[in-house]
Amino acid sequence: MPKLIKDGEAVSDYWTVLKEATGPEVLKAVPGKNFLVPLSFWKNYQEELNDYNGNIAIWLDSHDRVSDLDDSIHDFPLIALNFPAFSDGRSYSNARELRTTRNYQGEIRAIGDVLRDQLYYMQQCGFNAFAVRYDQDIDDCLTAFGDFTTGYQATVAEPTPLFRRR
Amino acid sequence: MLADRVRQYQNQTERFLAGKLSESEFLPLRLQNGLYVQRLAPMLRVAVPYGMLSSAQLRKLAFIASHFDKGYGHLTTRQNIQFNWPSLSEVPDILKHLAEVEMHAIQTSGNCIRNTTTDQFAGVAVDELEDTRPYCEIIRQWSTFHPEFAYLPRKFKIAVCGTKVDQAATQVHDIGIYLTQNSEGLIGFRILAGGGLGRTPVIGKEIFPFVEKQYLLSALESILRVYNREGRRDNKYKARIKILVKEIGVEEFQNKVMQEWELIKNSALLLTDDEITRCKSCFTDPNYESLADTPASLSDRLQNNILFSSWHTQNVKPHKISGYAIVTICFKETGVAPGDVTDRQLNHLAQLADEYSFGEVRVSHQQNIVFADVRQDKLYDLWLGLQSESMSSPNLGLLTDMICCPGGDFCALANAKSIPIAESIQREFNDFDNLIDIGEINLNISGCMNACGHHHVGNIGILGVDKKGEEFYQVSLGGSSKNQASLGKIIGPSFAQEEIPGVIQKIISIYKSQRKDNEKFIDTYNRIGMDPFKEQVYAKAD
């Protein structure tokens, strides 16, 4: 069972990420699973998804826009945001928008090229779960959230900027 | 926070050296800590927020130059200082030393928000609406380790200007901010976005005609968020914000920014009066004495010493307080790379700053050093003091006071050398009377189209280009980074290195023969246009 960091602890991951190219036939072939489906899959196969007897949540790629989502997002237990490369910073803004503008309360999970040295920033932007890349040392990753003791900005994790806390 | 960062980076370097972090994963981490790997050695760029340095910091930089480098540093066009010869494994040590004097190399490179620059005369300039440094400090804090904007499509540069005459090249920044007064007399900000140099030089477009001070951070954050989300990431040469603004159009860009701004303008980002007052209190005036302008001791020296008087004319500028003056020390000695400063000079500057300028200096984006608060009756003593380390050259603002990048001698990106070009021009124009006669002009040299030497906004710009493995130089005329900002136009086919001094000589001779009254080079060029220069430069010898 792959490891996941959630709310500061290493836990087992029960969700399977479906790739962009996957078709709806997978739903019939593999019943009763927890699938994270791409946004396009969610939009295109509503009917098949409604009939599915497992759990469904969505993942957004870095170029997907949170503003394109309707209020049904609040029904998902989690939304995953992809980092196609760790240097692609768009999912930071998407996480923030989900938490702040859309007030999404479920799990926001980082998937893809998720590495130790970006975890602190991700958490600040509203991620609370991290499916770190297979080669990352999970114990080392757990220490990353303490890289900084404080920050200047107004973030999801610390909504009051330092200048209002002085 | 700084100690956190030093620890974090030490851990990152150790993991990299132990092979646990790949080159490509370590790259943005070291870049955001100012460390490049260059042609001959790594290069460490140290941040100097808004260009301000204390004498203690100068001494520390001198120590680093002599212990970890070859005895010198290089002043950059972002008012920073960089070291060209540190070893990778010693960098965490250097960072520890820097942290002792509250200095660091954070966000001096990488695709993040870089050091915010401003007028090097901020707080002492005669024509200033308000000191810009408190606002630079507010921006510095907001942009330091901003978790959402550490992996932007490309680097991001912000400049702030508070004077009538723009000395900060504000309009060629990703965001340019002017302090301005609205019709009700309220002081706020006019904010431009999408300016920049590099391969595609663009003048910034107005996004916020006027925002009140408390909205500064929400306005900036809105622009950054739109850019982070929508800036191109498929091609690094099209990833700067100027390309986004150009591709979707200013109006569309502005709409998106305004939509974002409506959501956050009244959030916790709203600046409080307390915070503005607190930041202002970090930049209070030193204890000025009440003195008269032009004391007798100064006018005597000016009359009797022609060398001192020509230095005074070029390098000394008026100060907002009577009896004081602003001195610029020019680091453009012939035969030395523009902006290079030795450990001895740094130590000597520290001593002189303690003696003559309240222990403080500033780095200018023209790669010079400024003493902002010198008593006029001490100018002569300071000038004498500068001579021992050959820092009294009177060429500020003249042809030989060039902006120049390190070029192909040091930089892995450069197509061509730039320092020998600067030197050959300085040798060609070695007659001081002639330089005075030519008057105010700026000549900027970049070794490649990344334009670190700001060649697009030089009155004369020189760009190193690579033609089938050989170094050539393209010359442009008419650029300016002042209020009427403009981008230079290329005069014609490029030249070989040895032709450049002659070409500049021809350009100057046309200016001299065509100028009217006290016209500056740029004004003559704007009046007569490119053609006369072009004809002369490419005229066939009979």
- Reported as half-sphere exposure (CB side, CA atoms, 13 A), residue A113 has a value of 13
CB spacing of B142 vs A88 below 8 angstroms: no
- Report how far apart, in Å, the C-alpha atoms of B358 and of each of B128, B204, B295, B353, B413 are: 21, 36, 20, 6, 39
The single-letter code of the amino acid at B414 is: A
Same domain, B231 and B369: no
Identify the residue with better confidence: B443 or B414: B443
pLDDT over threshold 70, residue B38: no
- Close Cβ partners of B183 (under 8 Å, ≥ 6 residues apart): none
A48 part of contact set with chain B, CB < 8 Å: no
Which DSSP category does B492 fall into? S
- For residue range B193-228, what is the model confidence (pLDDT) as tens digits? 999 888 788 999 999 999 999 999 999 999 999 999
Same domain, B368 and B426: no
Check residue B542 and give its pLDDT. Answer: 52
Check residue B85 and give its pLDDT. Answer: 82
Mean pLDDT computed over A94-121: 96
CB B217 within 8 A of CB B142: yes
- For residue range B62-115, what is the model confidence (pLDDT) as tens digits? 999 999 999 999 998 888 899 988 888 888 899 899 999 999 888 888 899 998
Domain limit, last residue, from B325, B356, B387 = B387
Evaluate whether residue B441 is within a structural domain: yes
Mean pLDDT computed over B522-539: 94
Check residue B338 and give its pLDDT. Answer: 81
Same domain, B365 and B432: no
Range of the domain at B63: 2-100
Q: What are phi and psi of B100, to 5 degrees?
A: -60, -30
pLDDT over threshold 80, residue B33: no
Cβ contacts (< 8 Å) between B153 and chain A: which residues? Answer: 89
Same domain, B55 and B147: no
A136 part of contact set with chain B, CB < 8 Å: no
Strands A107-112 and A129-130: parallel
Evaluate whether residue B345 is within a structural domain: yes
Cβ contacts (< 8 Å) between B145 and chain A: which residues? Answer: 121, 148, 151-153
Distance CA B76, CA B46 (A): 10
A152 part of contact set with chain B, CB < 8 Å: yes
Identify the residue with better confidence: B184 or B21: B184
Domain limit, last residue, from B100, B124, B149 = B100
Same domain, B368 and B316: yes
Facing residue for B228 by CB, picked from A65, A93, A148: A93
Angle of helix A90-100 versus helix B216-230 axis, rounded to 10: 120
Evaluate whether residue B287 is within a structural domain: no
Q: Name B118's bridge partners.
A: B160
- For residue range B503-516, what is the model confidence (pLDDT) as tens digits? 999 999 999 999 99
Check residue B22 and give its pLDDT. Answer: 86
The class that CATH gives domain A3-164 is alpha beta
Cα angle B509, B514, B519 (rounded to 5 degrees) comes to: 100
Distance CA B366, CA B331 (A): 9
Same domain, B328 and B383: yes
Domain count, chain B: 4
| Minimum Cα–Cα distance from B8: chain A residue | A147
- Determine which of B23, B135, B145, B278 to mutate to test the interface with A (most A C-beta atoms within 10 Å): B145
Which DSSP category does B175 fall into? E
CB spacing of A163 vs B141 below 8 angstroms: yes
B213, two tokens = 């001070």
Distance CA A59, CA A67 (A): 14
Same domain, B156 and B266: yes
pLDDT over threshold 90, residue A22: no
CB spacing of A154 vs B111 below 8 angstroms: no
Identify the residue with better confidence: B7 or B65: B65
B142 part of contact set with chain A, CB < 8 Å: yes
Number of Cβ within 10 Å of residue B419's Cβ equals 22
Cα of B98 to nearest chain A Cα, Å = 19
Cα angle B255, B144, B219 (rounded to 5 degrees) comes to: 20
- Determine which of B99-108, B291-300, B525-534 has the lowest per-residue pLDDT on average: B99-108
pLDDT over threshold 90, residue B331: no
Nearest alpha carbon to residue A120 among A101, A82, A80, A92: A92
Same domain, B439 and B475: yes
Domain limit, last residue, from B81, B100, B119 = B100
CB spacing of B1 vs A150 below 8 angstroms: yes
pLDDT band at B40 (very low <50, low <70, confident <90, very high): low
CB spacing of B4 vs A155 below 8 angstroms: no
- Determine which of A83, A93, A133, A140 to mutate to test the interface with B (most B C-beta atoms within 10 Å): A93
3-state helix, strand, coil in chain B (%, to 5): 40, 20, 40
Nearest alpha carbon to residue B35 among B104, B102, B117, B96: B104
Evaluate whether residue B96 is within a structural domain: yes
- In chain B, what percentage of residues exceed pLDDT 90? 67
The CATH number covering residue B442 comes to 3.30.413.10
pLDDT over threshold 70, residue A1: no
DSSP, collapsed to helix, strand or coil, labels residue B371 as: strand
Same domain, B468 and B519: yes
Cα of A56 to nearest chain B Cα, Å = 27
Identify the residue with better confidence: A92 or B35: A92
Check residue B279 and give its pLDDT. Answer: 95
Q: What is the mean pLDDT of chain A?
A: 94
- For residue range A110-163, what is the model confidence (pLDDT) as tens digits? 999 999 999 999 999 999 999 999 999 999 999 999 888 888 999 999 999 999
pLDDT band at B41 (very low <50, low <70, confident <90, very high): low
Cβ contacts (< 8 Å) between B278 and chain A: which residues? Answer: 163, 166
The alpha-helical segments, DSSP class H, found in B231-342 are 241-248, 250-264, 273-281, 296-304, 306-315
CB spacing of A90 vs B228 below 8 angstroms: yes
- Which residue is it, tokens 């490119």? B530
The single-letter code of the amino acid at B463 is: L
Please give the sequence-ordered ranges of beta strands (E in DSSP) within B403-502, or none if there are none.
403-404, 443-446, 460-467, 470-477, 489-490, 495-496
- Determine which of A92, A108, A125 to mutate to test the interface with B (most B C-beta atoms within 10 Å): A92
CB spacing of A147 vs B8 below 8 angstroms: yes
Q: What are phi and psi of B502, to 5 degrees?
A: -65, -40
Identify the residue with better confidence: A132 or B410: A132
CB A97 within 8 A of CB A119: no
Facing residue for B269 by CB, picked from A147, A161, A166: A161
Q: What is the mean pLDDT of chain B?
A: 91
CB spacing of B147 vs A92 below 8 angstroms: yes
Mean pLDDT computed over B9-19: 85
Same domain, B450 and B500: yes
Evaluate whether residue B472 is within a structural domain: yes
ipTM: 0.96
Distance CA B156, CA B109 (A): 9
Considering the entire predicted model, what is its pTM?
0.89
State the count of interchain CB pairs (< 8 A) between A and B.
96
A26, two tokens = 């997978």
Cα of B154 to nearest chain A Cα, Å = 10
pLDDT over threshold 70, residue B541: no
